[in-house]
Amino acid sequence: MKRVFILLLSLSVLLGGSYIRSDGPSAVRSCASAQPDALTTVIVTLCDGCAAPDIETDRAHISFADDSFIILDFNGSDPELDEYLAYASQLPGVLCAERDRTGSLMASSGPATDDYFAATQYWFNNTGSYSKFYVTGTTSIPSAEDIDIDGPEGWELYSALSPSRRAVIAVIDTGIDFQHPDLADKMWINSGEIPDNGIDDDGNGYIDDVYGWDFFNDDPSICHYEYNEAHDAYLCASSDNDNHGTHCAGIIAASADNSIGIAGVASVGDIRLMSLKVYGGAECSGSVADAIKAIRYADRMGADVCNISWGFYNYSSSLYTAIARSNMLFVCAAGNDGTDNDKTPLFPASYDLPNVISVGYLDENGAIASGSNRGAASVDTAAPAKDVFSTVVGSYSSMSGSSMAAPQVTGIAALLYTLGRGMFAANVKDIILDSIKPVEGLSDYTSGGGIPSLSLALSAADRILFDHEYPHMIVDLSFPGSDLAIYVNAEDHGPSGIGDIRYFTGRRSLSYFAHGTEGTAIPGGMLTLAKGGRYTFYLCDRAGNEIVRTLRIPDDMLSPSITRLSVSVNNKMTRLTVSAYVSDSQSGLRTVKYLKGVHGFADFTASAVEPLTPDENGKISFRVTEEGTYTIYACDHRGNEVIVPVYAYIRRSTDIALGSAELSLLPEETHKLTAVLTPAASTDRVTFTSSDASVAEVSASGTITAVAPGTCVITASTSSGKHATCEVTVQTNIEPGS
């Protein structure tokens, strides 16, 4: 996005006389002045049918109790309250224990929370004016009532739902001030990594990646601090500005009701922010390569939603592919140049993908901001994002732009994702965009024609399509050409659809594939292997349901077979015909050749002789005029070879005999004559003739068929001129009873 002016206020002004101070970037402290103990209402919800536990203490006194709820007044500091809530939540029969937030959610005017700067958050709860902070004081700015994302109404609805899981939000941006008092409790922590031990404990390729990773500097630093003498605090480093990502993070999930700062859209849910820094340096530059690495990291580590408050006008197929393959929902800023994305697309916001939402920005009165990119077809929605006050490194500040609009939608998506496992991006996108609050005139600038609404989106929670069905795969094998081809036929019985298909050699566990970021992709489900063996196949759907199957893929290790060799000679004894049957039951025949003489495999590889074509039964034949030894060669599609010698010589017969010298047959009766040549290996051809075909016919192979009463002679002749005869008598049929 275009750079915006950042107003960094004096911390002594922001915090009403107290300030945030740090002895160094590793130890940011909270407010210097101690907060007094205060009464806080606590609601304890009991499981159905469970007896109420003994929950009252010297600090917690029951004011109301029935068989479902216990309400207490707790007197103590915030850390003591947190400790008590953790204790109460673990008691037998307790479903949950939490602070009472009902009063602030029900409010129809004024701030939605007790956060110090809640009055600045008109975009969350617009009552007709908002406060704007300056170094010299505070000014009230008029605004159009209800030009907001329906934050308080949404929180009230959310309190009546039953969120059941934690949602992880990847903020791909500059770094995030993970020690900021308004963000520290909302940071994602890599449970598989031991901080600062210099070891890649979880084996994901990144050392000490506790809160995420700095891809710009290729280290786990995440945020870069610099001591500011005027404020006596560690603020944003001038050499590597991390304010922008910290600002977006605050809009999404800054802690609510902690008496400081602001409240993020999704702060009421179990939300964690994963910091993935791809923009850095004094000029805040970045690269597509780092963005792709960040997306893959977020996929690997299980993020649900990705906030992208940046963009560029040059199309990147690589970035498109990374987003298309991801199961995350990407909420992207539409741009701050005041141009039409329908005509001049900005990426990644303009990628036409089912898991991308494009967000422009409005002013406080609901008009499209002059600096906001627009697009009646390509920009999905727009959120109020002028003068958005949020967290920056070590402090708070105001920024404007679509960079501040996208995190509002990200916060809405984050709360939806906490409602259960098995959600998928395309469905969450539809729910958000189908729940837009209409604003007059916005249909000329966005396809949705309105503002994203937290309350309307949560009201549509019954339209969430949970997918708990595991996908299925059938693996088929074939040998097209010389390849060993695998076809993975994937099917998903749930509504989310097939996601990633991958494989790797050997036996691998599900965790090896790291949510589809390890292994080798199988585009279109078709894979060509160099050889058979054991392989593991991975399959996931768009809701993150995933399976693996380890299979032993058989290769064709058998050579073709050459059988039933025979040699025959023509009647003139001038030409030999060599015949054989060639077959391969696995990968199939690639080529069949022959050469005169005795030859090895290499001779056929270099030979230019035309290959033979077997008939439908696998029979091959070739004719030669020279006697001698011939070699037949066959090779299948996997390169298995076989050679067989055949001896092609003319051996004249010295005699011929028939199995029968006389035969008596009835009309239509048949009989097969057997001709025996001497020597047995003679190459002579035998022909059969009948002296009277009207009495008996004979086939070329010697089968006699009786035709009519009478007598005839069947003669068998060899190529060498030898003869044998059989006299055939065809008798008259005798009628029954005669």
- SS3 label, residue 13: helix
pLDDT of residue 482: 74
Which has more confidence, 45 or 141? Answer: 141
For the packed helices 425-433 and 402-417, what is the interaxial angle rounded to 10 degrees?
A: 120
Q: Which residues pair with 658 in a beta bridge?
A: 675
- Which H or E element spans position 506? none
8 A C-beta contact, residue 472 and residue 490:
yes
Which has more confidence, 158 or 257? Answer: 158
Q: What does the alpha-carbon distance between residue 516 and residue 543 come to, in Å, rounded to a whole number?
A: 12
3-state helix, strand and coil shares in percent for the chain, rounded to the nearest 5: 15, 35, 50
pLDDT of residue 51: 55
Q: What does the alpha-carbon distance between residue 355 and residue 380 come to, in Å, rounded to a whole number?
A: 12
Q: Distances in Å between the alpha carbon of 567 and those of 627, 646, 682? A: 11, 8, 9
Q: Tell me what the mean pLDDT of segment 6-13 comes to.
A: 33
DSSP-derived pairing of the beta strands 395-399 and 388-392:
antiparallel
Share of the chain above pLDDT 70, in %: 88
Q: What does the alpha-carbon distance between residue 14 and residue 33 come to, in Å, rounded to a whole number?
A: 14
Q: Tell me what the mean pLDDT of segment 700-709 comes to.
A: 94
pLDDT of residue 84: 82
Which residues lie closer than 8 Å to 524 by C-beta, 6 or more apart?
Answer: none
pLDDT of residue 38: 63
**pLDDT tens digits for range 414-424:** 999 999 999 99
- SS3 label, residue 174: coil
Instruction: Catalogue all structural domains in the chain, each as residue range(s) with its CATH number.
Output: 7-29+114-463 (3.40.50.200), 472-553 (2.60.40), 561-648 (2.60.40), 655-730 (2.60.40.1080)
Is the pLDDT assigned to residue 90 strictly greater than 70?
Answer: yes
pLDDT of residue 209: 96
Cis peptide before 181 (omega within 30 of 0): no
Residue type, 499: G
Is the pLDDT assigned to residue 581 strictly greater than 60?
Answer: yes
- Least reliable range by pLDDT among 51-55, 67-71, 124-128, 576-580: 67-71
Is the pLDDT assigned to residue 49 strictly greater than 80?
Answer: no
- Least reliable range by pLDDT among 19-33, 52-66, 324-338: 19-33
pLDDT of residue 85: 79
pLDDT of residue 54: 81
**pLDDT tens digits for range 236-256:** 998 999 999 999 999 999 999
Q: Which residues pair with 75 in a beta bridge?
A: 39
**pLDDT tens digits for range 165-192:** 999 999 999 999 999 999 999 999 999 9
pLDDT of residue 232: 87
Task: Give residue 29's pLDDT band: very low, low, confident or very high (50, 70, 90).
Answer: very low
Q: What does the alpha-carbon distance between residue 504 and residue 204 come to, in Å, rounded to a whole number?
A: 17
Q: What does the alpha-carbon distance between residue 352 and residue 375 come to, in Å, rounded to a whole number?
A: 13
Q: Tell me what the mean pLDDT of segment 699-726 comes to.
A: 94
**Phi, psi angles (nearest 5°) of residue 536:** -115, 130
Q: Tell me what the mean pLDDT of segment 690-716 comes to.
A: 95
Long-range contacts, stretch 126-129, CB < 8 angstroms, 24+ apart: 126/364, 126/384
- Which H or E element spans position 89? helix 78-89
DSSP-derived pairing of the beta strands 329-333 and 356-362:
parallel
- Least reliable range by pLDDT among 209-218, 479-488, 516-525, 580-589: 479-488
Q: What does the alpha-carbon distance between residue 60 and residue 91 come to, in Å, rounded to a whole number?
A: 15
Which residues lie closer than 8 Å to 86 by C-beta, 6 or more apart?
Answer: none
Task: Give residue 459's pLDDT band: very low, low, confident or very high (50, 70, 90).
Answer: very high
Most confident of 56-70, 205-219, 546-560: 205-219
- SS3 label, residue 635: strand
Q: What does the alpha-carbon distance between residue 445 and residue 376 come to, in Å, rounded to a whole number?
A: 5
Is the pLDDT assigned to residue 93 strictly greater than 50?
Answer: yes
Task: Give residue 102's pLDDT band: very low, low, confident or very high (50, 70, 90).
Answer: very low
Is the pLDDT assigned to residue 150 strictly greater than 80?
Answer: yes
Q: Distances in Å between the alpha carbon of 423 and those of 502, 513, 587? A: 22, 21, 43
Is the pLDDT assigned to residue 12 strictly greater than 50?
Answer: no
Task: Give residue 202's pLDDT band: very low, low, confident or very high (50, 70, 90).
Answer: very high
Q: Which two tokens stand for residue 84?
A: 């008590």
Q: What does the alpha-carbon distance between residue 215 and residue 310 come to, in Å, rounded to a whole number?
A: 16
Quote the mean pLDDT of the chain.
87
8 A C-beta contact, residue 569 and residue 575:
yes
**Phi, psi angles (nearest 5°) of residue 402:** -65, -20
Which has more confidence, 573 or 187? Answer: 187
pLDDT of residue 45: 61
Q: Which residues pair with 643 in a beta bridge?
A: 633
8 A C-beta contact, residue 510 and residue 547:
yes
- Which H or E element spans position 78? helix 78-89
Q: What does the alpha-carbon distance between residue 43 and residue 58 come to, in Å, rounded to a whole number?
A: 17
- Least reliable range by pLDDT among 69-83, 292-306, 376-390: 69-83
Query: Which residue, 212, 191, 189, 192, is CA-closest to 201?
Result: 192
pLDDT of residue 487: 92
pLDDT of residue 523: 86
